[in-house]
Amino acid sequence: MQAPITTTTAKRPYAWVPTTYLAEALPNQLVTMISMFLLLDMGVSKDIAAFYIGWLQLPWVLKFLWSPFIDTFKTKRWWILAMEVVICCAFAMCAFMLNAAFWLQALLALFFIIAFSSATHDVAVDGFYVIALTPPEQSLYVGIRNFFYRVGMVVAKFAIVALAGVLMNPDGGAMPVATAWTIALAALAALFAAITAWNFIGVPRTEAPERKHLSAKEVADDLMDTFRVFLRKPHLVSALLFIFLFRFPEAQLNMMTTPFLKDTLANGGLAMTNEQMGMLTGIVGVAGLLIGGIAGGVCVNRHGFSRWLWPMVLSISVPDLVYVYLSTTQVTNLGVIGTCFFIEQLGYGFGFTACSLFLVYFAIGPKSTSVLSICTAIQYAGILVPGMFAGYVCEALGYVRFFWWVCACCAVTAIVSAFIHIDPDYGREK
């Protein structure tokens, strides 16, 4: 049973939407991306590291299984703050375990705690977003929440990894690998602690606490009720196909963008340095995402989701052609590369609004938090599965033909978008 909303509604969404979605991104990036750099630097082989990281992603796929606890125990705000405290402590422990003899076992255990806590945090934050904001507010802030999630990715990928790289740089008086990563992870823990402290102030109290203690049978019954509610949703098949396949081309593109930009010219890449990629992604890319994401939310807020669905489908699909151009010409001019990247990220930011908003729209109703967690798990699986095989496809086709393949896959996005059903007035401020 979902805790009722009190008359104290979620005032000042700008005070908590950015920081909760920033907190949602950082632990995910540590487990799924930073961990690869860390394990490789510490001497773990690529195949073993990939195996560990693959298994560590399971909590995000299976998080719907424990989402009934979040609907029935305490409040969404309580879960958000509790998980952020756990994640913050785990970040700090990761930093100080790297010099231990059993560092790998300790790190994997801590990574799993972070993954489980982060997946639980995702459920609570997304559920809080649904119940604390009105539909017009949801459409207005969807671009902002997506933008700050991407900011978290940029901070993790370029600030934390770059910090460790600079500290290990032989030209700058190289530190031992474990020491360099200890400092980088400590910096991440300090940043997350500041975000957590802010959220204790910024996240409003919008729900009456649920004090009922549930037995195992009641929890199981509640989970079955969630599945029944989910399976009885109207137009279920078309919705599931949309959620799982809308990002099918993007999942492959995102996996191969970094290797393409960093690879040598002889191998078909653009031979960019880490510093150039940091500027490209951290400044140009974030600007494109910010403008595109906020524009998407504002457009839906004014005219409704249904009216802007197809412009968003085109927006997330057509700009992928810039990678065909870049891989064909192998241009090395940073201005040209930056312009192409900005166009692609602008289109992605605007088009991704459709995917995010549809999940919220589909979850509205009984057990919205649990239903939304199932939807996000399906969406995550839709990113994980094609992303796992993108490297093999790219290796077989080469960069040019691979990016043509990604553009052809955009037909999948269009097909699944053609069959979904949306209330014409949803998202429009009346």
pLDDT on residue 3:
43
pLDDT on residue 274:
58
pLDDT on residue 7:
38
The 3-state DSSP composition of the chain as helix, strand, coil percent (nearest 5) reads: 80, 0, 20
pLDDT on residue 424:
78
Kindly state the helix (H) or strand (E) to which residue 384 belongs, with its residue range.
helix 368-397
pLDDT on residue 314:
94
- Is pLDDT at 11 greater than 70 in this prediction? no
Dist CA 146 CA 87 (whole Å) = 21
Query: What's the whole-number mean pLDDT along residues 264-280?
Result: 77
pTM above 0.75, yes or no: no
- Is pLDDT at 140 greater than 90 in this prediction? no
Could you tell me how far CA 394 lies from the centroid of its own chain?
A: 23
Amino acid occupying residue 348: Y
Q: Where are the beta strands (DSSP E) in 281-365?
A: none
Cα distances from 413 to residues 41, 260, 318, 373, 394, in angstroms, run: 38, 23, 11, 22, 20
Query: What's the whole-number mean pLDDT along residues 310-319?
Result: 93
Query: What's the whole-number mean pLDDT along residues 355-365?
Result: 86
Where do the domains of the chain lie?
10-205, 230-430
- Is pLDDT at 86 greater than 90 in this prediction? yes
Dist CA 392 CA 255 (whole Å) = 11
pLDDT top residue among 320 and 8: 320
pLDDT tier at 382, thresholds 50, 70, 90: confident
CATH superfamily of 230-430: MFS general substrate transporter like domains (1.20.1250.20)
Residues in CB range of 267: below 8 A, 6 or more apart: none
Dist CA 340 CA 332 (whole Å) = 12
pLDDT tier at 8, thresholds 50, 70, 90: very low
pLDDT on residue 5:
43
- Is pLDDT at 76 greater than 70 in this prediction? yes
- Is pLDDT at 347 greater than 50 in this prediction? yes
Dist CA 317 CA 413 (whole Å) = 8
- Is pLDDT at 404 greater than 90 in this prediction? yes
- Is pLDDT at 330 greater than 90 in this prediction? yes
- Is pLDDT at 380 greater than 90 in this prediction? no
Domain 10-205 annotated CATH 3.40.50.1240: no
pLDDT top residue among 333 and 174: 333
Range name among 44-53, 61-70, 281-290, 407-416 with the lowest pLDDT average: 44-53
Torsion (CA) 236, 367, 248, 26 in degrees, nearest 10: 180
Tens digits of per-residue pLDDT, 225-235? 878 888 888 88
- Is pLDDT at 192 greater than 90 in this prediction? yes
Dist CA 143 CA 22 (whole Å) = 13
Angle between helices 236-245 and 399-418 (to 10 degrees): 160
* Total residue count of the chain as it appears in this document: 430
Percent of residues, the chain, with pLDDT higher than 90: 29
Dist CA 184 CA 181 (whole Å) = 5
pLDDT on residue 127:
81
Average pLDDT, the chain: 82
Q: Which two tokens stand for residue 37?
A: 């750099």
Dist CA 169 CA 217 (whole Å) = 56
* Domain 230-430 in the same topology as domain 10-205: yes
Tens digits of per-residue pLDDT, 31-59? 887 887 787 778 777 557 667 777 787 88
